[in-house]
């Protein structure tokens, strides 16, 4: 069976993480083996880098390099072996987040990020990219209202409304640059409707059967 690499993206508060588990169960119900993982993180080393990048002050270059360092380890230790086994890899964030947050949010050079993307995601047979990215698109004002009730914010969650406007624009730019890879999920619906939209994107690709 061919592996599938599906990433989940969106600004903080968009609610994407809620839907990973249900989709994992849906694939498992089809007899698929699922690897559920996240970025930054997913390996012991990358989780240590996550703790640093979410909590310690640093400049945008340092931040971008740590994101890609964590990604390199994650790809080598977890994602590539899982895809070779034929797993469905469901990954909470990937490189689109680096373009959206470090690129558009922080204003870091997009050309440098593209170079790093090419190096870090090079498998020897090409540059690894997701087969599909579910982009949970929510107006930043709605996301901010949801986050106001959330846990203590990290270095990203505590950013300004203007930052999240830029991050949202960054996701839109990534989608426009590669529309076939993206499914935009309108995240300003009920959780049930959002779950249905996410599932529909997989049914449309014949990766899951229509719900009975």
Instruction: Give the distance from CA 62 to its chain's centroid.
Output: 20
Between residue 7 and residue 26, which ones bind ligand TMP under the rule CB under 6 A?
12
Placement of tokens 């990020």 in the chain: 113
The site map against ligand TMP for 29-58 (x = CB under 6 A) is: ---------xxx------------------
For ligand TMP, the binding residue among 75, 91, 97, 116 (CB under 6 A) is 97
Nearer to ligand TMP, 1 or 150 (CB): 150
- Side-chain half-sphere exposure of 187, counting CA atoms within 13 A: 26
Q: Cβ 135 to ligand TMP, closest distance in Å?
A: 13
* Interaction of residue 101 with ligand TMP, rule CB under 6 A: yes
Element (H, E) at 96: helix 95-97
In the complex, least distance from residue 29 CB atom to ligand TMP, rounded to whole angstroms: 26
List CB contacts of 45: < 8 A, sequence separation 6 or more: 70, 73
Query: Does 136 participate in binding ligand TMP (rule CB under 6 A)?
Result: no
> In terms of CB distance, is 98 or 121 closer to ligand TMP?
98
Contact 127, 118 (CB under 8 A): yes
Binding of ligand TMP by 135 (CB under 6 A): no
Residues 6+ apart with CB under 8 A from 132: 4, 5, 6, 7, 181, 182, 183, 201, 202, 205
In the complex, least distance from residue 31 CB atom to ligand TMP, rounded to whole angstroms: 29
| CB neighbourhood size of 18 (10 A) | 15
Q: How far is the CB of 187 from ligand TMP (least distance, A)?
A: 13
- Tokens of residue 88, six digits: 């469905």
Instruction: Answer yes or no whether residue 168 interacts with ligand TMP by CB under 6 A.
Output: no
Question: Which residues of this chain interact with ligand TMP, rule CB under 6 A?
Answer: 12, 38-40, 67, 92-93, 97-98, 101-102, 156-157
């Amino acid at each position: 069976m061919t592996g599938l690499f599906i990433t989940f993206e969106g600004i903080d508060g968009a609610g994407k993480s809620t839907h990973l588990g249900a989709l994992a169960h849906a694939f498992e119900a089809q007899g698929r083996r699922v690897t559920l993982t996240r970025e930054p993180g997913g390996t012991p080393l990358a989780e240590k880098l996550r703790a640093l990048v979410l909590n310690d002050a640093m400049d945008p270059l340092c931040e971008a390099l740590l994101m890609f360092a964590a990604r390199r380890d994650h790809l080598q230790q977890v994602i590539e072996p899982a895809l070779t086994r034929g797993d469905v890899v469901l990954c909470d964030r990937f490189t689109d987040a680096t373009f959206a947050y470090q690129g558009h949010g922080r204003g870091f050079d997009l050309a440098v990020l593209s170079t790093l993307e090419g190096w870090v995601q090079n498998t020897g047979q090409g540059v690894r990219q997701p087969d599909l990215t579910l982009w949970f698109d929510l107006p930043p004002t709605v996301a901010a209202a949801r986050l106001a009730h959330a846990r203590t914010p990290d270095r990203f969650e505590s950013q300004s409304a203007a930052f999240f406007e830029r991050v949202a624009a960054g996701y839109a730019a990534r989608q426009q640059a590669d529309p076939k890879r993206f499914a935009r999920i309108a995240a300003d619906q009920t959780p049930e409707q959002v779950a249905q939209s996410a599932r529909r994107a997989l049914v449309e690709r014949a990766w899951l059967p229509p719900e009975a």
